[in-house]
Structure 1
Amino acid sequence: MKLSSPENQAETAVTSSLQAFLETDIAPKANRLDTDTIALQRALSQLNQFQFLGLRVPKVYGGLEASLLTFRQVQALIPRYSGAFAFLQTQHQSAASLLANSENQVLKERYLPAMAKGETLMGVGFSQLRRTHNPPLTAIPVEGGYQLAGKVPWITGYGYFQYFIIGATLPDGKALYGVVPLIPTPQPEGGNLEFSSPMQLSVMNATNTVAATVENWFLSEEEVLFIKPANAIHDSDKKNVLHHGFYALGCARAGLDILENNAGKKELPFLEESHQTLAQKHQSLSEAMFAALPPTETSFQYRLSLRVKAIHLAQRCAHAAVISSSGAANAQSHPAQRVYREALLFSVSGQTKAVMEASLNTIADYV
């Protein structure tokens, strides 16, 4: 028998502790976390006890430096218990991963140790880079840095995070990534960052998603993570097409949990049969998605098909949770209602044209 390495054992221990925390502390108040910013803030701060806020931070900066397998396992685990909790913490994980891959040592030393400890929290705001025509946010090279102006349409974590990674389009089409404050901030030179009120979304309102207006903001060279080619974000979307699928996979499991609970309470054989059928589909899809992770080489079309299957399985399991809960699922406070709305959000999270097209084709072909 091949013994696991100390690194794998450490990651397994963290994941096991995290699951116990999710079951005992997060699941019972999942509906509250969807709307209560104070409760969600408290839950986020509790992640420090597992070193979890440093999941994607290199060990040299005090992080766990978890493997891709562990990261994906956690991605699928948290949405089972709370979509809002999963959605909020992943912003910080994404920012840490981007910083860790930067060659800017000044930025890495300034932020990563504090991010690993939860002393500094950071979000992301660069989805606008996917817009190839009339970019919402532009960056003009100036002495010592860049002048940023325009709009950032989506930033999650206002009031939770102190900073976010911003993405702007340069005159030659390349993409600039840098760190800016996630609080209204005027600069002596006349630059300014302003943020909208939190958007009223159908679900996960407590995560505080806002838009930003950027007025002549000076971003110094020291605050730049990297400059990427014009199509880099699209290449990344293609390479990581499975990424958001793991959240949908976890959401599907949340629906299955409700269906299983209803089957136990109502003692109707067809509820148990439905649960078994969907649980088998979930297990098969989960095995396929994890098997498709690197270093395994699979085609983009195959990984895209798995992503779409995860989206639709989440919707089917959430719908099954609603139906098996009967009229009670109409209540805003019912778990099935929340999971159903979370399935809607995870169906469009990180959406690209390819994912949209494949998702719609699946719906159109469904009989």
Structure 2
Amino acid sequence: MTAPHPPRPPHAPHPLVAGARRLADEVLVPHAEEVDRTEVPVGHLARIRSSGLLGLHAPRAYGGAAAPAAVARETAEILAGACCSTWFVQAQHHTPVLTLAACEGPARERLLGRLASGELLSGVAYAHLRAFPRVPVRATREGTGWRFDGTVPWYTGWGLNDVLLLAGITETDEALFAFAEAREQPGLRASAPLRLAALTAARTVSLELDGLWLPEESVALRTPYEHWAAADRLRTANANPAVFGVTEAALALLDEDTAAPLRARLAETRARAYALADDAAPRERAAERLALRTRAYQVLQAATTAAVVNGGGRSMLLTNRAQRLAREALFLMVQAQTRQSRAAHLDALRG
């Protein structure tokens, strides 16, 4: 069975989109249930490293593709619909690339080209910033660098990534992001991989920080927390392309009579969500973005539930695609969740 694909434009696909489809059909889909029960193979990531996809957002001057937003969304749909665990590991990489592309300084010159080429694969450790004013990780000036103390509850790709982008809050309430090697070292200790209801294969751990010291040249971003949080709220208000990819995969398991109305809802929701994501004035339509994000979850839940029902008792087998997609849907409903997105979703569920 090949990966379900989003509707194709009439012209030839972007090379990165074509590459993502080949990767999905040849590597990800055939092994997705096995990966779900084990872990993302290094071989999958080797193919991604060599595909050019890790340079999707990087400037051309650093060897990247500087791809349009539509290409980034389509590749995310394809990879997530094929193997959500593999998609999620490589998805972490794009925030560090975007962060470096927007900054100046030693970290950019040292790392951006290597991240764009796939020589290095990066993870992220910053979701805990959304807990502010609680401060799970404190960054304190120490000598010519920064000391990090606290707990990172979630870090994905441990043992698979080369570097990580770590965030902490300074004593003056700045959000500070710096790169570290993704390995145990003085001041950094990882838990055993967490057993999760979905995406255990992505090797998510918690990180204990006890005096991890990073030099000033490792810093990629230092900004008032409220500036970062405002941008984060805008970004996470948009519907996640991975949601549409997993929805497509679930619809592919249904007969056409069952799938057709759900596919129509998917197409309408996707078109409206992407049009809003491309809007030049995001702050003016934040509530509408959140509503469409929630509607995307509703279509996802309906499609994956229909796939489970359609599969009957077989859907309870861990080797079954429908139940994997249903569990991935649960994961996507809480991934990159903010107070605002949670409230919007709960309001919709209350009717």
TM superposition score category, shorter chain reference? over 0.9
Question: Which residue is equivalent to 2:19?
Answer: 17
Q: Secondary structure at the match of 1:149?
A: strand
Aligned partner letter, 1:181: E
| CA-to-aligned-CA distance 1:304-349 (integer Å, 9 cap, x gap) | 1111111121111100100011111011110001000000000000
For residues 63-74 of structure 1, the aligned pairs below 5 Å read 63-74=64-75
- Partners of 1:238 and 1:154 in 2: CA distance: 19
Q: Is the counterpart of residue 83 in structure 1 residue 69 in structure 2?
A: no
Q: Which among 254, 264, 280 is matched to residue 264 of structure 2? A: 280
How far does residue 19 in structure 1 lie from its aligned partner after superposition?
1.1
How far does residue 11 in structure 1 lie from its aligned partner after superposition?
7.1
What TM-score, normalized by structure 1, do the two folds share? 0.88
Q: Secondary structure at the match of 2:300?
A: helix
- Partners of 2:123 and 2:203 in 1: CA distance: 11
Question: Does structure 2 retain, via aligned residues, the 8 Å contact 1:246–1:310?
Answer: no
Q: Which among 269, 279, 290 is matched to residue 274 of structure 2? A: 290
Question: Does structure 2 retain, via aligned residues, the 8 Å contact 1:244–1:349?
Answer: no
- My pick for the range that moved more, 228-237 or 201-210, is 228-237
- Partners of 2:34 and 2:238 in 1: CA distance: 27
Question: Which residue is equivalent to 2:337?
Answer: 351
What TM-score, normalized by structure 2, do the two folds share? 0.92
- Partners of 1:10 and 1:185 in 2: CA distance: 47
Gap change, CA 1:49 and 1:142, over 3 Å in 2: closer
Taking only aligned residues, the RMSD between alpha carbons, in angstroms, comes to 1.7
Aligned partner letter, 2:27: D
Question: Which residue is equivalent to 1:189?
Answer: none
Q: Is the counterpart of residue 341 in structure 1 residue 336 in structure 2?
A: no
Question: Which residue is equivalent to 2:8?
Answer: none
- Partners of 2:303 and 2:151 in 1: CA distance: 37
- Partners of 2:243 and 2:234 in 1: CA distance: 18
- Partners of 1:154 and 1:309 in 2: CA distance: 26
Any gaps of 5 or more consecutive residues in structure 2? 1-10
| CA-to-aligned-CA distance 1:152-201 (integer Å, 9 cap, x gap) | 11110001112100000111111110001211112xxxxx1111011001
Larger radius of gyration: 1
Question: Does structure 2 retain, via aligned residues, the 8 Å contact 1:146–1:220?
Answer: yes
Q: Is the counterpart of residue 303 in structure 1 residue 289 in structure 2?
A: yes
Any gaps of 5 or more consecutive residues in structure 1? 1-8, 187-191, 264-271
How far does residue 77 in structure 1 lie from its aligned partner after superposition?
2.2
Aligned partner letter, 2:206: A
- Partners of 2:306 and 2:126 in 1: CA distance: 35
- Partners of 2:220 and 2:50 in 1: CA distance: 29
Question: Which residue is equivalent to 1:126?
Answer: 126
- My pick for the range that moved more, 160-169 or 141-150, is 141-150
Q: Secondary structure at the match of 1:120?
A: coil
Aligned partner letter, 1:333: T
- Partners of 2:84 and 2:147 in 1: CA distance: 36
Question: Which residue is equivalent to 2:243?
Answer: 248
Q: Is the counterpart of residue 27 in structure 1 residue 29 in structure 2?
A: yes
Aligned length: 339
Q: Which among 212, 218, 221 is matched to residue 226 of structure 1? A: 221
Q: Secondary structure at the match of 2:151?
A: strand
How far does residue 236 in structure 1 lie from its aligned partner after superposition?
1.8
Q: Secondary structure at the match of 1:70?
A: helix
- Partners of 1:93 and 1:11 in 2: CA distance: 21
**Percent sequence identity over matched residues?**
26
How far does residue 49 in structure 1 lie from its aligned partner after superposition?
3.8
- Partners of 1:328 and 1:242 in 2: CA distance: 36
- Partners of 2:73 and 2:230 in 1: CA distance: 20
